[in-house]
Amino acid sequence: MAYAVKPKGNAVPFKQELNQTSKTLDKELSEEYILSYLYYENGIIKYNGKSKVYYMEQSPSLTNGKRSEYYGQQQTKASYSFFLTRMDFLRIAEAMMKDYQDQTCVGQYLKAAQVQSKRWYKYRPNEDFAKWWLHNYAKRYGAQFYFDFHRMGGRNIMAASGYNSQNMMIDLDNSRIVVTNSASSAWDQRTYILNVIRDGELPK
């Protein structure tokens, strides 16, 4: 059963699109391109050069256990939600850190995202409610990552934040990683993430 994964608009080969997109990271790399590349690199899909469409030989569940309404059809939508364990989060963070430090292709992309990041309008570290969300302490945002954190100026630190405080914060200079998984966001992000990255010490 063929299942097509195409980026929005006119479908083009991923590497060609990546080259075009990397010049304008302020537009952010579409999740569909990342998904297509992930599938392609892992042999789940094959690229049909004639029609410029990525075809999946099988249809793994990527919609939180629910079958997509597009299941088994050629279509242009794909979910970028994945089931990840807490160790998966840590492995991803470690891979990103090493790529950044070694300046691989992925590392260069992350560096470019950092350089081209924009001022984050939700930077508000002194508000009473700030402690509940990691993004309140970031001064800059780009390519779906947060940079330039409160009281950590001049350091290469990046973070990602998801639903229910699924957080990932990486100190790219000192090789420190904090990953949190939670059923609720009602806990102090400073104590368990920001201070740990800043000071290099676990909370007592």
96: how many CB neighbours lie within 10 A of its CB? 20
User: Would you kindly state where each structural domain of the chain is located, as residue ranges?
Assistant: 1-83, 86-199
Best CA proximity match to 133, nearest among 89, 188, 179: 188
Kindly report which listed range (6-15, 100-109, 122-131) carries the lowest average pLDDT score: 6-15
Mean pLDDT of all residues in the chain? 75
pLDDT band with cut points at 50, 70 and 90 for residue 6: very low
The DSSP element (H or E) to which 167 belongs, if any, is strand 166-171
Where is pLDDT greater, at 29 or 145? Answer: 145
Q: 27-51, pLDDT tens digit by residue?
A: 445 555 666 666 666 665 554 444 3
Is the pLDDT assigned to residue 3 strictly greater than 80? no
The whole-angstrom separation of Cα 204 and Cα 198 is 15
Q: Would you mind telling me the total number of residues written for the chain in this entry?
A: 204
The whole-angstrom separation of Cα 73 and Cα 3 is 6
**What is the value of pTM for the model shown?**
0.66
Q: 82-111, pLDDT tens digit by residue?
A: 677 888 889 999 999 999 999 998 899 999
User: If DSSP codes are grouped into helix, strand and coil, which group holds residue 24?
Assistant: coil
DSSP letter at 203 equals -
What is the DSSP secondary-structure string of 102-160?
A: HT-HHHHHHHHHHHT-EE-TT--TTSTTGGG-GGGGEEEEETTEEEEETT-TTS-EEEE
pLDDT attached to residue 162 = 84
pLDDT attached to residue 66 = 56
pLDDT attached to residue 41 = 66
The whole-angstrom separation of Cα 4 and Cα 7 is 10
The whole-angstrom separation of Cα 68 and Cα 72 is 9
Burial of 43 (0-12, 13-18, 19+ CB in 10 A): exposed
